[in-house]
Amino acid sequence: MKTAALRSLRRRLAADQPVFGLWITLEAPSITEMAVALGLDWVVIDAEHGHLDWKEVVEHVRATVRSDTVALVRLAELNVALVKRALDVGADGVVIPWVESAEQLRQAVAFARYPPEGVRGIGGERATAWGQCLAEHTAEANENVLVVPIIETVRAAAEVPAMSAVAGVDLFYFGPADYSASAGFRGQWEGPGIAAQLLALKDTLRKAGKHCGILATSSEDAVRRREQGFRAIGLGMDAGLLLRALHESLAAVGRDRPLRASLAPVEPPPTPLARPPEALRPDRMEVMNNTGAGPQAPIDRGVVFDCLVGQHNQARRLTTGLVTFAPEARLPYHTHPFSESITLLRGRVLVEVEGRGYELSPLDNVVVPRGLAHAVRNLAAGEEAILHIAMASDQPTRTLVEPVFVCQPMPSASTGRPGAERVNRLRSAPRCAAGPNTEFIDCFNEELLPGLEISGGYGLFHPGGRLPAHVHDFDESICIIEGTATCVVEGRRHTLANCSTALVPRGRVHYFRNDSAEPMAMLWVYAGPQPERILVDERCATVEGGPWS
């Protein structure tokens, strides 16, 4: 145990100074030696996930000897034998996953302390200099050992105030991905609303005099986490940092590609064209549309359509906009001679398709093929509901249908009736990357639902996220539903937020990026049945290299 390093770490935290570290998942102790040589304040050696065995854990711990870098071991579970073993081989503390109660946390502290304060047995291993320094080590271990719980479930959130009162715990880590999974957003780093929940928990702990740590997802995120009040900031995982550098280097030479969970080779992306095909020469400019600036149409009592993209701004085969439902307002059964996409932005609604009732959560989506009778109802008595809708026509019409359907509520996980409507649940929909630091969901297209005339979905841009320069053989509508987006069209830069919507006509070279420190999200819709894009040289998206000038 490096008593001096532990005391130094605690002094810096007490002075509200950030301490930076590295998460170790790879076996080479050279990685930890590099972290020590660069002056990192701590490392966490991950023995919960991955493949590290105890011999490799010891080698990482050994690489921190006679340094000011605190060595912590993340255990697989709260277990007295694992705590004892990690501390006996010389770790300065333990990181305990999945702590959900004050009682569990008190137990973890007891496991890490010698009697009479705890139940740790005295061993003749590295911690006691192989039995040569029993008195010295046992005299200082209880006071200095670090026990760090990870808050990574919704259940744990309710127990945070009680956990903050447990003696012997200075520092709490957060696990955003597991927390998101426990909230129903499996596979997302911070699902909808999770970032705000974690910040609130961090504030609760800081008010109780505790310190909070988290793993940053990028260099920019590390700075943002420091500004948010996190004080033990992981600059990344060793494997993640290596991959990040590889992606950046490969992107610089046009060779970057995503990874698959199977680790099977991924086909390299197509080589960007030097310029778009002449056949795509556009005949219109892009149009940026703010909410309330376009046509407003009452379509039923208490139901108003705010058209953002459509005939009024020369969109072709596409209309998109926002529909606001007053409390308990209902849009009766009707049909369209074209397909329609319905996405809930705010409130609680029930979408019925031929009697099948689907209650939507925010950002859930329902796609209704042409000719299918459907209705929408605001379930809230005191709150508006707002929907984003997209229709495969620039001259939308509807035909009312007699209400001959009896509503049958469908299970909350239902994804629709095969061959008819499709329901996309944000929490469980599969995601892919469309560019660096992005997550995309394909909600509807001809492959997912044969016969559709449009395609589209949801795109999440983490800080620094962007798409490559590209063109389409159809018009596109892009509505910014979270954060602030920069839209670049052939060198012209536009800033969009608060459901502002870009109409990018066929043939215009463009891309979107997130220049902010907060997430940005969009709903995109193509006036074509497949989400096809043609990559072009980045110079085509500049004023100087504009292909149509």
Q: Which pLDDT band holds residue 435 (cuts at 50, 70, 90)?
A: confident
Burial (CB count within 10 angstroms: exposed 0-12, middle 13-18, buried 19+), residue 548: middle
**Cβ–Cβ < 8 Å for 291, 498:** yes
Does the pTM surpass 0.85? The reply is no
Q: Which residues belong to the active site?
A: 49
Cis-peptide into 116, omega within 30 deg:
yes
Q: Do 85 and 144 fall into the same domain?
A: yes
For the segment 312-323, the average pLDDT, to the nearest whole number, is: 97
Using the predicted structure, report yes or no on whether residue 269 has a pLDDT greater than 80.
Answer: no
**Distance separating alpha carbons of residues 95 and 171, to the nearest angstrom:** 10
Q: Would you say residue 164 lies in a domain?
A: yes
Strand 399-400 relative to strand 330-335, pairing = antiparallel
Q: Do 14 and 112 fall into the same domain?
A: yes
Strand 93-96 relative to strand 146-151, pairing = parallel
Supply 172's token pair. Answer: 């709490």
Q: Do 199 and 298 fall into the same domain?
A: no
**Distance separating alpha carbons of residues 542 and 201, to the nearest angstrom:** 44
CATH code of the domain in which 215 resides: 3.20.20.60
Supply the pLDDT for residue 16: 97
Longest dimension (CA), the chain: 89
Supply 36's token pair. Answer: 């020590």
Domain count of the chain?
A: 2
Q: Do 210 and 298 fall into the same domain?
A: no
- Give, for 366, the enclosing helix (H) or strand (E): strand 365-368
For 196, list phi and psi in degrees, rounded to 5.
-65, -40
Q: Would you say residue 331 lies in a domain?
A: yes
**Cβ–Cβ < 8 Å for 305, 368:** no
Q: Do 521 and 459 fall into the same domain?
A: yes
Using the predicted structure, report yes or no on whether residue 392 has a pLDDT greater than 90.
Answer: yes
Handedness of CA 9, 14, 15, 17 (dihedral sign): positive
What are the beta bridge partners of residue 262? Answer: none
Q: Do 181 and 321 fall into the same domain?
A: no
For the segment 218-246, the average pLDDT, to the nearest whole number, is: 95
Using the predicted structure, report yes or no on whether residue 397 has a pLDDT greater than 90.
Answer: yes
C-alpha distances out from residue 263 to 26, 317, 389, 411, Å: 17, 40, 37, 35
Using the predicted structure, report yes or no on whether residue 248 has a pLDDT greater than 90.
Answer: no
User: Is the model more confident about 264 or about 79?
Assistant: 79
**Distance separating alpha carbons of residues 461 and 485, to the nearest angstrom:** 9
**Distance separating alpha carbons of residues 255 and 251, to the nearest angstrom:** 6
Using the predicted structure, report yes or no on whether residue 404 has a pLDDT greater than 90.
Answer: no
Q: Would you say residue 100 lies in a domain?
A: yes
CATH code of the domain in which 459 resides: 2.60.120.10
**Distance separating alpha carbons of residues 74 and 96, to the nearest angstrom:** 6
Using the predicted structure, report yes or no on whether residue 191 has a pLDDT greater than 80.
Answer: yes
Last residue of a domain, one of 223, 248, 273: 248
**Distance separating alpha carbons of residues 424 and 445, to the nearest angstrom:** 12
Supply the pLDDT for residue 270: 80
Domain that holds residue 116: 3-248
Q: Would you say residue 82 lies in a domain?
A: yes
Tell me the residue ranges of DSSP E strands in 268-421. 287-289, 296-300, 303-309, 319-325, 330-335, 340-346, 349-353, 356-360, 365-368, 374-378, 385-391, 399-400, 408-409
